[in-house]
Amino acid sequence: MSQTVFAPWNDPAEKPLIRFQNVTKKFGEFTAIEDLSLDIYAQEFFALLGPSGCGKTTMMRMLAGFENPTSGQIELAGQDIAQVPPNKRAVNMMFQSYALFPHLSVWDNIAFGLRRDKLDKDAIAARVAEMLKLTRLEKFARRKPHQISGGQRQRVALARSLAKAPKLLLLDEPLGALDKKLRQDTQFELMDIQESTGTTFVIVTHDQEEAMTVASRVAVMDEGRIIQVATPAEIYEAPNSVYVADFIGDVNIIEARTKAVGGDQYHLTWADGQAPLTATSAAPFGEDSKAHLAIRPEKIKITTERPEGAPNALQGKVLDIAYLGNLSTYHVELPGGQIIKAQTANTRRIARRDITWEDPVWISWSATAGVLLAQ
Amino acid sequence: MNMRRFALIAVPYFWLLALFLLPFLIVFKISLSDMALAIPPYTPTIKDGISALISQLDFENFAFLASDDLYWKAYLSSLRIALISTILTLMVGYPIAYGMARAPEEWRATLMMLVILPFWTSFLIRVYAWMGILSNEGLLNQFLLWTGLTGEPLQILNTTTAVYIGIVYTYLPFMILPIYAALDRMDESLIEAAEDLGCSRMQAFWLVTIPLSRNGIVAGSFLVFIPALGEFVIPSLLGGSGTLMIGKVLWEEFFNNRDWPVASAVAVILLLILIIPIILFQRNQQKQAEAEQ
């Protein structure tokens, strides 16, 4: 009846294409990757997301073969690849700088890897033509890299790394050098190409929007460790820590102490003289333990009157309005000085909106709107 | 506006005219004159009047150069020595430049300093130092005898080998610096990309590093070849009488024979020979500048 959802990570029978097992990588005293284990499955579009210096590029370079793990092992299709040099791996990489050979034409750049495989001329020509078509570069085949635009260079780099039909394609900040509009178009193009070639993609990025757009699963990294691996929706709606919640998108964090009230409901004491908040949590919390309520701005309603029957309602004053066109974010100051962000879609034109600066307002949300996090 | 542009163009043209074309014309004129026991040692001079000056010029000296095989043998020998020493300098200089470009960032300035340092001593003194090293009683032979590698001293000084050693040593920085500049500019991820696409280290070197340092190689080779072709000090001090080079012939014509007209003819021909590599060199530089735009 329904289409099967692509989720090999939920299938225990599925063998991962890549398996990191307790991998540690040290550069001298500095630990870039710390005891990291991770499975990536065939045909996934997997994103490694994190701030610069979190070790995501090191992971990619270990997959490509430019770095070797200090301890632990990396398997590709069931084989330990630690001792396999980069030129013998069925892995290709698209470099952040694109690393196009400046002395070769677009055509020769794409043919470079195929020539190393000693394919015959016709096979090379056919494959290059196919790649040029896939990346819509037919017109530029004879140009040198410095004679084409940044977006075209990016596509040449992609075509070159896909030409050898690798089992695994690594993309190191592939869209970093493109402007925003082109980046968005290219993201969809990348997804199309990933789907049509069936290649496993691992992308490294610090841009959370990009990771969320393209990836089937996202690994959020920090200081050489993976904090959470999940689908974009899970990462966004059910982050496992304040770090992840804060790194992905906008979030309000309210520190509180818990009090179980039966079922999965908790009352949260969060400020003196304020009524407790109500939240649900699947994960159990002890009595009077510290917790963080993470709640996304778009889950918070903002009204002029106190809403009827809302389990959580607080009064405050509008401090700031960030108008984004399609959305507006209201910064609401609570009596205790805390600022809560609430977001509404601008379904009406500006003159018809009734909330403005310094207005007393009510913000409210349901018991299930937020996530209760231990840390 | 037009005046300023004119002035801007005029400066380099004047420079070329005053420092290159004028001296060349003077040398060319002398090459068409005859030897004379006078000061200056040729005739006619400007004192003889313009009409006499022009009517008495002829190509006699050039015909003489063609008739005596000493000269064309000297030219050929010079070309050969310059070519071989350029190749030797490239073979020694490239690995040094490569090592410098791959050295840790903080070492590079020091390494560069070491390459340039010999220039702080007089060129002549450095060549004399090589005489001290290479002679039969020199440091090298003493060392070889001490280690027992040879039973009797090797004759190196006053052979072509000594000339090669001298030229490679002297012109090495001219080879290293442009190659280093080319390699230093190269993005290291290009090598990684080549390896990623299936190249071994060696293949990546031949297919990426060498082509991308081509301009440096060409520039360095010309910077060595051009002065080596007319080199005079090194062959006369290190090469002995057995080494025939046109620079040495030129010197002997001027100072030993006092035959200015023939010496000038030798110089004119040498210049004509050099124009070819100089033009090729200029073209390479121009292409490089265009590629960088």
Task: Kindly state the percentage of chain A with pLDDT values over 90.
Answer: 53
pLDDT of residue A1 exceeding 50: no
Any A CB within 8 A of B210 CB: no
In a domain? residue A1: no
In a domain? residue A2: no
Residues A114 and A209 in one domain: yes
* Boundary (domain end) residue, out of A246, A273, A308: A246
| Mutant choice from A60, A67, A87, A158 vs B, greatest count of B C-beta within 10 A | A87
Q: Please, are residues B216 and B183 in contact by the beta-carbon 8 Å criterion?
A: yes
Tell me, what's the pLDDT at A351? 62
Any A CB within 8 A of B287 CB: no
Between the alpha carbon of residue A79 and those of residues A36, A202, A294, B195, the distances in Å are: 18, 18, 41, 20
In a domain? residue A180: yes
| DSSP string over B69-109 | HHHHHHHHHHHHHHHHHHHHHHHHHHHHHHHHHHS-HHHHH
pLDDT of residue A140 exceeding 50: yes
In a domain? residue A240: yes
Q: What is the ipTM of this complex?
A: 0.82
In a domain? residue A123: yes
Residues A224 and A333 in one domain: no
pLDDT of residue B293 exceeding 70: no
Which residues in chain B touch residue A108, judged by CB atoms under 8 angstroms apart? none
In a domain? residue A3: no
* Boundary (domain end) residue, out of A214, A246, A278: A246
Residues A277 and A226 in one domain: no
pLDDT tens for residues A174-187? 888 788 888 888 88
Residues A59 and A160 in one domain: yes
Question: If you average pLDDT over each of A358-367, B58-67, B166-175, which comes out highest?
Answer: B166-175
Residues A279 and A223 in one domain: no
Tell me, what's the pLDDT at A189? 86
pLDDT of residue A158 exceeding 60: yes
Tell me, what's the pLDDT at B195? 94
Total domains in chain A come to 2
Q: Is B192's CB within 8 Å of A95's CB? A: yes
Please report which residue ranges of chain A form alpha helices under DSSP H: 56-64, 106-116, 121-134, 150-162, 180-197, 208-214, 232-237, 242-247
pLDDT tens for residues B142-154? 998 888 888 888 8
Residues A315 and A241 in one domain: no
pLDDT of residue A3 exceeding 70: no
Q: Which domain holds residue A210?
A: 8-246
Tell me, what's the pLDDT at A236? 93
Residues A212 and A123 in one domain: yes
Tokens 């996202």 correspond to A218
Global confidence as pTM: 0.81
CATH 3.30.70.60 is held by the domain B68-292 = no
Residues A236 and A276 in one domain: no
Q: Which of B192, B200, B212 comes nearest A103 by C-beta?
A: B212
Nearest-angstrom CA–CA distance, B267 and B259: 12
Between the alpha carbon of residue B253 and those of residues A97, A139, B71, B201, B246, the distances in Å are: 60, 63, 11, 53, 10
Single-letter code of the amino acid located at A190: L
> Which CATH number covers residue A348?
2.40.50.140
pLDDT tens for residues B279-291? 888 888 888 777 7
Average of pLDDT values for A116-130? 93
Specify the length of chain A in residues: 375
Residues A78 and A160 in one domain: yes
Nearest-angstrom CA–CA distance, B24 and A163: 58
What part of A 89-118 touches B (C-beta under 8 Å)? 91-93, 95-97, 99, 101-103, 112-113, 116-117
* Boundary (domain end) residue, out of A246, A274, A296: A246
Between the alpha carbon of residue A144 and those of residues A105, A153, A245, B135, the distances in Å are: 4, 10, 44, 54
Calculate how close chain A gets to B100, using CA atoms only, in Å: 22
Residues A172 and A207 in one domain: yes
Tell me, what's the pLDDT at B1? 60
Residues A207 and A318 in one domain: no
Calculate how close chain A gets to B209, using CA atoms only, in Å: 10
Residues A96 and A175 in one domain: yes
pLDDT of residue B256 exceeding 50: yes
